[in-house]
Chain A
Amino acid sequence: MTSKSAKIAKTPSGNASGPLAALASALAGGAIEVIDLTQTLSPDFPTLVLPPELGQCTPFRIEEISRYDERGPAWYWNTITLSEHTGTHFDAPVHWISGRDLPHNTVDAVPAQKQVAPACVIDCSELSAKDADFLLQPAHIEAWEAEHGRIPAGSWVLMRTDWSKRDAASYANLREDGAHTPGPSPAAMRLLVEARGILGFGTETIGTDSGQAHHLDPPYPAHYILHGNGRYGLQCLANLDKLPPTGALIIAPPLKIRHGSGSPLRVLALVERGATGGKA
């Protein structure tokens, strides 16, 4: 780290016309917008629901340490509790049994270089509105590619469903037989991971998989295939409707938790002004 920063310090000042300077000026001038893709961490935000005899996803909780009072007269701060998979969060390969033996499979080992990557956004909002159990199929991906070009290796694929706009009850959408929320089919996951070589897959719903994904083959195909191949997941994303089909740059660094399986995080997207959401 020290040697790297030393190198940067030695870089000639001619970088005023380099790509980072251009980025900085585009950000300052508004030619590049920063879109927040994160849900607010709050106790009211739904968490994954599992049968009650299993271990549960710890919901977000916040307790004051002090608030300008006898516990600390001039300062306000809180203790928060939550699981690694509460709120908008990142899934590392070790999260799933299929990825448990891979190298660099924990959040602390995710290379910094992979924490900034381009995104392809596939708009499934209309199909998901019609069918809460909508499954993204290879045909949908190929139709998207016919319009926007082949999905580049090393990019995020984000599934836009507008699910993040729903109220909490219809967001979780729990019925007697479990959650009903959209997600990818096993074939779509195989196509994206094996044939396209994506970096990861992101959704607006509680998980990268659909609500009924335990009935698919393999069960939870997004988790199984992504993590079994060392790829990442992002879920509980918001504002995907503000992203263009291609061209957005995602900044998604998980917390550096030793041996962590995932992490709540702030996800940002850099978008060129004027670029808007598209159709699948």
Chain B
Amino acid sequence: MTEPLTPPKRKNPLKKTRLPLLPSGIRSRTAQMLTLVAAEGRFALPTCLDCGAVHYPPRDACPKCLSARIFAQEAPAGGRVAAETIIRTSTDPYFRERMPWRIGTVVLDAGPSIIAHLQGDVATGSRARMEWKLDKSGQAVAFALPEKETPNMADDPQLREMTLDPKFRRVLVTDARTAVGQEMVKALAAQGAAIVFAGLAEPWKPAPVRDALAAIKGVEIVPIDITDTDSVNELAGEIGAKVDILINTAEHIRPGGLMERKGVGVAREELEAGYLGLVRLAQAFGPTMRFRGADGTNSACAWVNVLSVFAQVNWPQFGAHSASQAAMLSAAQSLRAEFRAGGVRVINVFTGPLETEWYQAVPPPKVAPSQVAAATIDALKRGLEDVYVGDIAQDVRSRLAVNPKAIEREL
């Protein structure tokens, strides 16, 4: 059984904040096939397209038939722990601070044996469920978890290094006026977040949801308008040092492409609430979060962008909005690189059309705001990086992988 995590004590102001260190982040380009599956939370192994042999670690040629056609294919995630080792000392600065550390050899049901990080409840001889996890350097590592959920399993310190669990953390939801934002606030509070800061812009406009959200234990309503630099900077000045997870739920969804709209007014609003809003948040909250990447139990750990899946391929019915989302997707990639030194994960939650007012005329399937919140919680708890919520988002993802031109013509 895992020792349950205790709520973190208040910081001792006389102590220096520890700088975030990273485990080795070097991988071969071939090995990055596992980064891709880890980012999406899939379990796959290098598999030969010609002879079907499964191998590990990833190689440029099949160890059985020498074919160069290797790809990551979904594989059974089960295995048995053959041996375990407790590492008590290391010259690696990252692991030195985290000793002792348990690793073990897992014989996979799929064939290969693999050296993996072990969750505390996994021991020699026990069955294990394997996952690819992204470590603090953003690289895929093998992690052996108990086959069935064990008490306080997620509180295991080694596992918590890989996940972004909201438990005991303080989360800023930038826009609680949106349906997604409201569901996010509720879900985070239910997951044991220490504080959920629920952002409300333009306090002079009625917000019927204000009282309901403020009544939830742990929720604090904060003023923030991500279209207003002063407002973002002011809130960062007040709470920036205690935002461990930032979830940007701001949206400005309007139908239409480029030609039929008169002027750039709406496009500008889309950018203000979208791309430029992200820039403002990054400048105001980013540096402190990156600095606090190893700040104890409630270290800064994640930045979540809720994006339309049409950031990846334009949907002309919402063409200009798709373009603003594409700008945000590109910005998110920059942010990922900028956050890497702090070990802060950037998660993109891609959704299809939502069950909200601006998608009223769009036929189903649509994504309920609560689904987006649930998928975000799942991504935080598993430590994912790219999440596709709902049928449309998953469909776009798979069609893009097959033929991006086809989907461009069909949308």
Interface size class of B (residues with CB under 8 A): 10 to 19
Interface residue A49 (Cβ < 8 Å from any Cβ of B): yes
Number of interface residues of A (CB under 8 A): 18
Given that A55-B265, A56-B269 are known contacts, is A168 also in contact with B229, CB under 8 Å in the complex? no
Q: Which of B43-51, B97-105, B165-173, B200-208 contacts A (4 or more CB under 8 A)?
A: B200-208
Q: Evaluate contact between A175 and B206: CB separation under 8 angstroms.
A: yes
Q: Evaluate contact between B230 and A62: CB separation under 8 angstroms.
A: yes
A62 to B230, CA, bound (A): 8
A46 to B266, CA, bound (A): 20
Q: Give B198-245 interface residues, CB cut-off 8 Å to A.
A: 202-206, 225, 227-231
Interface residue A63 (Cβ < 8 Å from any Cβ of B): yes
For residue A261, give the distance in angstroms from its CB to the closest CB of chain B: 14
Contacts across chains A and B counted by CB atoms under 8 Å: 35
Q: Give A122-176 interface residues, CB cut-off 8 Å to B.
A: 167-169, 171-172, 174-175
* Chain A residue at smallest Cβ distance from B231: A43
Q: Evaluate contact between A171 and B230: CB separation under 8 angstroms.
A: no
Q: Evaluate contact between B265 and A43: CB separation under 8 angstroms.
A: no
Q: Which residues of A contact B229 (CB under 8 A)?
A: 61-63
Given that A55-B265, A56-B269 are known contacts, is A43 also in contact with B204, CB under 8 Å in the complex? no
Listed residue (B202, B203, B204, B225) with the most chain A CB atoms within 10 angstroms of its CB: B204
* Chain B residue at smallest Cβ distance from A83: B265
Q: Evaluate contact between A43 and B203: CB separation under 8 angstroms.
A: no
Partner of B204, one of A62, A63, A172: A172
Q: Which residues of B contact A61 (CB under 8 A)?
A: 227-229
* Chain A residue at smallest Cβ distance from B223: A44
Given that A55-B265, A56-B269 are known contacts, is A46 also in contact with B231, CB under 8 Å in the complex? no
A61 to B225, CA, bound (A): 11
* Chain A residue at smallest Cβ distance from B265: A55
A167 to B203, CA, bound (A): 11
A174 to B203, CA, bound (A): 11
Q: Which residues of B contact A46 (CB under 8 A)?
A: 202, 204
For residue B318, give the distance in angstroms from its CB to the closest CB of chain A: 14
For residue B121, give the distance in angstroms from its CB to the closest CB of chain A: 51
Q: Give B304-320 interface residues, CB cut-off 8 Å to A.
A: none
Q: Give A54-69 interface residues, CB cut-off 8 Å to B.
A: 55-56, 58-59, 61-63
Q: Which residues of B contact A56 (CB under 8 A)?
A: 265, 269
Q: Which residues of B contact A169 (CB under 8 A)?
A: 203-206
Q: Which residues of A contact B269 (CB under 8 A)?
A: 56
* Chain B residue at smallest Cβ distance from A175: B206
Partner of B205, one of A58, A62, A174: A174
Q: Which residues of B contact A168 (CB under 8 A)?
A: 203-204
Q: Evaluate contact between B228 and A174: CB separation under 8 angstroms.
A: no
* Chain B residue at smallest Cβ distance from A58: B265
For residue B200, give the distance in angstroms from its CB to the closest CB of chain A: 12
Q: Which residues of B contact A43 (CB under 8 A)?
A: 225, 228, 230-231
| B binding-site residues for A, Cβ under 8 Å | 202-206, 225, 227-231, 265-266, 269
| A binding-site residues for B, Cβ under 8 Å | 43-44, 46, 49, 55-56, 58-59, 61-63, 167-169, 171-172, 174-175
The 20 listed contacts between A and B (C-beta, < 8 Å) are A43-B225, A43-B228, A43-B230, A43-B231, A44-B204, A46-B202, A46-B204, A49-B205, A55-B266, A58-B265, A59-B227, A59-B228, A61-B227, A62-B229, A167-B204, A168-B204, A169-B204, A169-B205, A172-B204, A174-B206
- 5 residue pairs, one from A and one from B, having the closest CB atoms: A168-B204, A43-B228, A169-B204, A46-B204, A172-B204
